[in-house]
Amino acid sequence: MYDASYGFYAARDADTEGQEGKYYTWEAKELKNLVKDDFETFAKVYNVEEGGNWEHTNILFLTTESLKKSEKTYLEKGEEWRTILLAERRKRPEPLTDDKIILAWNALMISALVEMALILEDADLLEWAEEAMNTLEKQFAHPEYLYLHSGRKGQMKLPAYLDDLAYLAKAMIDMGNATAQTLYYHRAKAVLEYVCQHFKSENDHLFDFVHHEYEQVQIRKKDIYDNALPSANVVLFEVMQSLALIFQENCWSGIFENGLNAMRAYISGFPAGFSRWAALALDASESITEVVIIGPDAKKIYQSIYNKVQKPNVQFVVSIGEEENIASLKDKNRQGDTLVYICKDFSCLEPLTDINQVLGVIL
């Protein structure tokens, strides 16, 4: 579902030959013929049932419990089993792929790649995220609309919607932190400024889904619910919160406070439908700790800290040493050293160089 020239494809069919899941699922008797004497262990590991664990067939899946029962065998045989099953599956008719490229979904995927790269400490995943982000810039950037919404085979069209731009700005901040490249912060700021100019009416507290110049109906839709995808508005407000700290600008504070206040009744009335809004409201009720990491080893230090700091009210700013008119980095670089500043309310402690000391203060 990925093409390095264009990005991540939109979807793949669930059904083949008129049957949902046929390409991906397995009957027990079929598996017995494939893994032979290993079937009993295989079935325990992958939760296979004779009558099927879904719609009279089997979806293969692992659980912590199933792995514990046969972990040694799984480690010894798992690769062999996967090779056998993959070869067999390739004989089946493949589901059709919708090779449309959607900016919003690609941006979400990039954020996911960055997070997994940090959690797993996997440099290849981060490199993939960077490649995908560069592809987005080539394919979707537009001189008039800033970014486009979707297309296929390089033929992109339609001005970007609010979710496209909100998710993209969030991905840019994630990339800026993970790579210590400040250019991503500037790009995210440009997206936010564009959205403030073209997606918000003066007296509204939230952002409209469609660019005002390209509306086709009089009613202005606002995406506020957290559904299968997070609300475009809440992601944009998260971006606003992050960039206000990075650039130390209060020009967005009124928009942020008014928008969040407008959502409080929805949050309290139906929190399950506004879970990300609820998390944002909780974050906003506490003072935020800003951790500025600057210097040649900033990327490495951020990656080593990331897994140890799971606190939503901790915001990072990471740079290899470039300040580039970013207020939170101003006068913090010291040639040759990598320093960590822990700040609250725009006031910072003396810089630290020892990660354990940093964690001691943050945690």
Q: Over the stretch 323-344, which tens digit does the pLDDT of each residue have?
A: 878 999 999 999 889 999 999 9
128-141: pLDDT as tens digits: 999 999 999 999 99
SS (H, E, C) 91-121: CCCCCCEEEEEEHHHHHHHHHHHHHHHHHHC
Are β-strands 146-152 and 19-20 bridged in parallel, bridged antiparallel, or unpaired?
Answer: unpaired
pLDDT of residue 70: 85
If you average pLDDT over residues 86-107, what whole number do you get? Answer: 96
pLDDT of residue 62: 94
Complete DSSP assignment for 48-89: --TT-SBTTBB-----HHHHHHTHHHHHHHHHHHHHHHHHHH
What percentage of the chain exceeds 90 in pLDDT? 87
Question: For residue 157, with 0-12 CB atoms within 10 Å meaning exposed, 13-18 middle and 19 or more buried, which class applies?
Answer: exposed
What percentage of the chain exceeds 70 in pLDDT? 100
**The two structure tokens encoding residue 282:** 């909780």
pLDDT of residue 247: 95
CA nearest neighbour of 273 among 233, 226, 223, 229: 226
Using 50, 70 and 90 to split pLDDT, how confident is the model at 322?
A: confident
Domain ranges of the chain: 24-89, 100-285, 289-362
pLDDT beyond 80 at 216:
no
pLDDT beyond 90 at 82:
yes
pLDDT of residue 311: 78
pLDDT of residue 151: 95
pLDDT of residue 71: 87
Domain 100-285: state its class.
mainly alpha
